[in-house]
């Protein structure tokens, strides 16, 4: 198949950037979207131009490193699918595809489609963990957890940290990302002890990073490759208010 690409090109953080148009003549519909970009880059390389920089690594939907806006949608047209798991069979012959980086104040563009998502790391570092040192753990079966509880915690823990939720949110809110970690921890007995300090510091850090507020449009859940539910945001708000009320 033949496709026309409009790709965001930006040399570095200071460069204002612009859209560039490329045409690819011979695309196999079974190619993954990123393999299509590989093909584009091979073409650019042969022309002596600088290939398009884009983030990717595992190419099996789990590392969370890939992530671009495709025709205005985070990770493209399929539901619950990362960019790397998208295949060209989801596009039509002669289609024009617009490719842009994930955009948010807290995710500055580094080059072309590569963005800086280290803000997420700082949110986790502020409290997204259970404070247990190596060697302190009790026998695993001494903490029985009901299967539905652990499955619910898993649903939240499945987040891959790709940032699609932020990119698709009109306020660039990281509420879904942050709440998923808070939910994962608070749904488990091991994580309950630190629930109050965790939620307060993570929410504060999230705000300090320049992420916006959640206004409940639920666009994040719709685009999340891991189907993380917005109900976690409700739980985060509940936990946050509880922590503020009970603050010593």
- Evaluate whether 9 touches 112 at the Cβ level (below 8 Å): yes
Q: Decide if residue 78 touches another protein (CB under 8 A).
A: yes
Q: Check binding of 14 to another protein (CB under 8 A).
A: no
The answer to the question of residue 140 lying near another protein (CB under 8 A) is: yes
Nearest approach, Cβ of residue 217 and another protein (Å)? 26
Task: Select from 17-25, 59-67, 93-101, 239-247 the region that touches another protein (CB under 8 A).
Answer: 59-67
Residue ranges in 89-128 that form contacts with another protein under rule CB under 8 A: 89, 110-111, 114, 116-118, 120-121, 124-128
- Please state, in angstroms and as integers, the Cα–Cα distance from residue 22 to each residue in 5, 32, 44, 88, 97, following that order: 5, 18, 9, 16, 10
Count of beta carbons in the 10 Å neighbourhood of residue 93: 10
Say whether residue 10 binds another protein (CB under 8 A): no
Binding segment (CB under 8 A) for another protein, from list 16-24, 83-91, 228-236, 239-247: 83-91
CB 230, min distance to another protein, A: 20
Residues 6+ apart with CB under 8 A from 80: 224, 225, 226, 227
Residues numbered 153-212 forming contacts with another protein, rule: CB under 8 A: 153-154, 157-158, 160-161, 184-185, 188, 190-191
The closest of 125, 115, 236, 113 to 172, measured between CA atoms, is 115
Residue 222 touching another protein (CB under 8 A): no
| CA dihedral for 125, 164, 177, 217, sign (positive or negative) | positive
Three-state secondary structure call for residue 66: coil
């Amino acid at each position: 198949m033949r496709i026309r690409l409009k790709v965001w090109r930006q040399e570095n953080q200071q460069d204002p950037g612009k859209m560039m148009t490329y045409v690819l003549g011979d695309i196999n519909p079974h190619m993954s979207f990123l393999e299509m970009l590989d093909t584009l880059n091979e073409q650019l390389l042969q022309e002596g131009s600088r290939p398009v920089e884009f983030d990717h690594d595992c190419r099996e939907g789990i590392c969370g490193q890939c992530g671009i806006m495709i025709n205005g949608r985070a990770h493209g047209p399929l539901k619950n699918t990362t960019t790397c798991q998208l295949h060209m069979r989801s596009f039509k012959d002669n289609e024009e595809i617009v490719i842009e980086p994930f955009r948010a104040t807290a995710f500055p563009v580094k080059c072309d489609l590569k963005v800086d998502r280290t803000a997420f790391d700082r949110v986790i570092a502020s409290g997204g963990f259970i404070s247990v040192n190596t060697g302190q753990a009790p026998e695993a079966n001494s903490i029985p957890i009901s299967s539905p509880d652990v499955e619910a915690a898993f649903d939240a823990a499945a987040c891959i940290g790709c940032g699609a939720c932020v990119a698709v949110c009109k306020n660039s809110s990281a509420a879904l990302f942050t709440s998923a970690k808070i939910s994962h921890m608070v749904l488990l007995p091991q994580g309950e002890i630190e629930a109050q300090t965790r939620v307060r510091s993570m929410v504060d850090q999230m705000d300090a990073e320049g992420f916006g507020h959640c206004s409940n449009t639920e666009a994040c859940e719709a685009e999340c490759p891991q189907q993380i539910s917005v109900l976690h945001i409700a739980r985060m708000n509940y936990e946050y208010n509880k922590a503020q009320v009970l603050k010593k």
